[in-house]
Structures are given as C-alpha cells and as structure tokens.
Amino acid sequence: VTLEDATHRAIVARLTTELTPARALWSPWARLACWLALALAVVGVAAVSGLRHDLGVVIDRPGYVFELAILLAGAGLAATLALLAAVPGRMGGRRARALGAGLLVLALAAALLGETGVAPATRTAFADLRCVACVGLFGLVPWLALYRAVGRAAPLDGTATALCVGAAAFLVGAAAVRVACPYDDVAHLAVWHGLPVALWTVVSTVLAGAGLARWMDDGVSDRHTAGG
C-alpha cells in the first residue's frame, strides 16, 4: 500500500461518510430567465412609482427605447457571465471574450447613441444625488437575487464573478432610474446615472468578491444539506 493509496482511501472514506443529497441547481439559462423577469419587474415598479409623468409619450421615441434596451441587454449579458462563471467548466476563454466584447459594444453604443436633451435650469444637486442613490436602491434586489443564485453554485474566481454580479444588478438600477427620472440631458445621464453603475459595482465587488469564492475553504459538510 503506497502513501498515495492510503491518502486516497482516507479521503474517500471520509467524503462518502459525509455525503448528503445535494439537489442539482437549475441550468444557468433557467436561472437567467428568472433573474431577467425580476429585473423587468424592478423596472416596472420604477416606472409606476417614479417621478416621470410623460413616460407614455417618451416611450414612443426610438432613442429612449434604444437606451433602455441597451441598459437591459448589458445587464443580461453581465448576468449571463456571472451565472456561467459560477459553474466550473462552463466559461471558456472564447465565450468570456465574446460576452465581454458584447458588453463593451453596448457600453459604447449607450455612450455614443443616447439622447441629448437640454439640462433644465431648475435642477438641484439633491436631484442629481437622488439618482445616484436610486441606482443603488433599484439595483439592490437584483443584486441580492443574483448574488444568491451565483453563491449557491461554485464560482471559481470570486472577484471576477462579483464584478459581473454588480454590473448586471446596477445596470438594472440604471434602467429603472432611466424610467423614473424626469431628466434627459446627456451630462446628467452620464454622470449621475452612468458613473453610479461603476461606483456601486466596485463597492459591491470589494464587499462581496472574497465571499463568493469562500466555498473552497469551507468545511466539508457545512455547504450542502439534504435536498438543498
């Protein structure tokens, strides 16, 4: 009996003893569909409860709809990256590059093709800061849902996955604020809607990045429970 055989037998005995049923997760695509439904619901809530009273009119403008579509498509792409990255072996380099390039194209399109309304003279700093907070608040529920969905799987790179989770959630926040906020000028959109996406994404990545990969350090029997 070699040392390696003895090691193997010891670890196999231990793991088989501690084995409990662990129901397989839904596929990343099914979880993505659920998350997108939640994201659309958040945008719907923002539309109903927001300060924009001309939504019925602006929704007919192609530029406005295009902007919303870009924000939601970016959120969907980032969520796809996060959910695939949480399943070992699912995210090859080619697929990651393609999805990353898609995100970049959407960001450029949003920056170059967005609407360019005029800033109202009566707007206060409070209104600007309210948009920063609202991007975070509207993004919070999608963030919690996606973080939970990703955390139940096995993300191998916690920081990169957390970055995708944050980007997806706070792009939904930005889309929600876009339908709730009455201002359309490009400076306001870029600084008070666009930058908060980056800000909240970085903050959430710093706070949650290490936690996503902690499953590799946990004890053997404390991660899965019967049927869980």
Partner 1 sequence: MAAVQRGDRAAYGALLDDIGPAVQQFVRRRIRDPEEAKDVYQDILMALHRARRSYEPDRPFEPWFFAIARRVVARRRSERLTRDARELRPSVMPDVPIESDGHLKLALEQALRHLSADQRQAFELLKIEGLSVERAAPRAGTTVGALKVRAHRAYRILRRFL
Q: Which listed range, 73-81, 151-159, 179-187, 193-201, lies at the site for partner 1 (CB under 8 A)?
A: 151-159
Whichever of 41 and 220 has its CB closer to partner 1, that residue is 220
Instruction: Please pick, from the candidates 58, 134, 153, 172, the single residue that binds partner 1 as defined by CB under 8 A.
Output: 153
Percent helix, strand and coil across the chain, each to the nearest 5? 75, 0, 25
Q: Which listed range, 24-32, 54-62, 94-102, 133-141, lies at the site for partner 1 (CB under 8 A)?
A: 24-32
Cα–Cα distance, 11 to 153 (Å, whole number): 23
- Closest approach of Cβ 138 to partner 1, in Å? 29
Residue 14 interacts with partner 1 (CB under 8 A)?
A: yes
| Amino acid in the structure at residue 18 | E
Instruction: Please pick, from the candidates 108, 206, 207, 220, the single residue that binds partner 1 as defined by CB under 8 A.
Output: 220
Give the ranges where 124-216 is alpha helix by DSSP (H).
125-151, 158-180, 186-188, 195-212
Cα 164–Cα 166–Cα 168 angle in degrees, nearest 5: 65
Instruction: Please pick, from the candidates 1, 21, 49, 126, the single residue that binds partner 1 as defined by CB under 8 A.
Output: 21
State the residue for tokens 């908060």: 196
Residue 93 interacts with partner 1 (CB under 8 A)?
A: no
Between the two ends of the chain, the Cα-to-Cα distance in Å is 38
Whichever of 12 and 101 has its CB closer to partner 1, that residue is 12
Residue 130 interacts with partner 1 (CB under 8 A)?
A: no
Instruction: Please pick, from the candidates 15, 37, 198, 210, the single residue that binds partner 1 as defined by CB under 8 A.
Output: 15
Residue 10 interacts with partner 1 (CB under 8 A)?
A: yes
- Closest approach of Cβ 79 to partner 1, in Å? 17
Cα–Cα distance, 123 to 164 (Å, whole number): 33
- Closest approach of Cβ 195 to partner 1, in Å? 32
Cα–Cα distance, 223 to 228 (Å, whole number): 9
Nearest residue to 174 via CA among 150, 204, 195 = 195
Cα–Cα distance, 66 to 48 (Å, whole number): 20
Instruction: Please pick, from the candidates 27, 57, 61, 191, the single residue that binds partner 1 as defined by CB under 8 A.
Output: 27
- Judged on CB neighbours under 10 Å (0-12, 13-18, 19+), 81 is buried
Residue 33 interacts with partner 1 (CB under 8 A)?
A: no
Residue 56 interacts with partner 1 (CB under 8 A)?
A: no
Give the binding site for partner 1 (CB under 8 A).
Answer: 3-4, 7-8, 10-12, 14-25, 27, 86-90, 152-154, 156-157, 215-220, 223-224, 226, 228
